[in-house]
Homo-oligomer: A and B are copies of this chain.
């Protein structure tokens, strides 16, 4: 047909954008042509921010959250409740729970969930040093997502802590974050799984 192609510099950047999750070839092209109309200094600062991302951040050695300091502000804060430990999948989950203001303990970030289909087992997660953090802890709250993988990971951690002899008499209590109807939702439109969880999780008034 025709030999007209995108300039190399354009197609290279399209390729970079295509690698991002949720960005297809068409939207990658659209983003690149949008950037073509941007002033040079905007592109420069975008590029600098990309390079800074990993240089200026570390994973906290204690909780594995993304942070500027090691240990991170939560782990360094002596005022937090040391008896509560909340296990989450991702750094953004920490932020969401912090925004709620309902949790005053510490965190443990797994950086993923057990997903055999993607070849992610327990060894690919930051799980090995969870046991070492339990000396002062009385309750471990498993706040992985209510998805298939999140549930499986929560189950795995429960059994793992049992095997390690950390639960039971004198050990830690393991709890799962509550499931049910989100605030503001409509029972009429709720899916069956959520409703059955909401009924299971009913509380006396």
Contact = CB atoms under 8 A, between A and B. Distances in A.
Nearest to A52: B9
A137 to B, nearest CB: 20
Interface stretch (A94-102, A144-152, A155-163): A94-102
Interface stretch (A23-31, A166-174, A179-187): A23-31
Interface residues of A, number: 58
Interface stretch (A34-42, A126-134, A188-196, A197-205): A34-42
A29 B66 CA distance: 13
Contacts of A10: 53, 57, 66
Contact of A50 (B43, B55, B98): B43
Given A1-B99, A7-B66, 14 more contacts: A6-B95, A7-B56, A8-B56, A16-B49, A20-B35, A33-B66, A33-B92, A36-B53, A36-B57, A36-B66, A36-B91, A43-B50, A47-B48, A47-B51
B95 A4 contact: yes
A69 to B, nearest CB: 9
Contacts of A36: 53-54, 57, 66, 91
A142 interface: no
Nearest to A100: B1
A65 to B, nearest CB: 9
B42 A51 contact: no
Given A4-B73, A4-B94, A6-B95, A42 B19 contact: yes
A62 B16 CA distance: 30
Contact of A49 (B2, B12, B37): B12
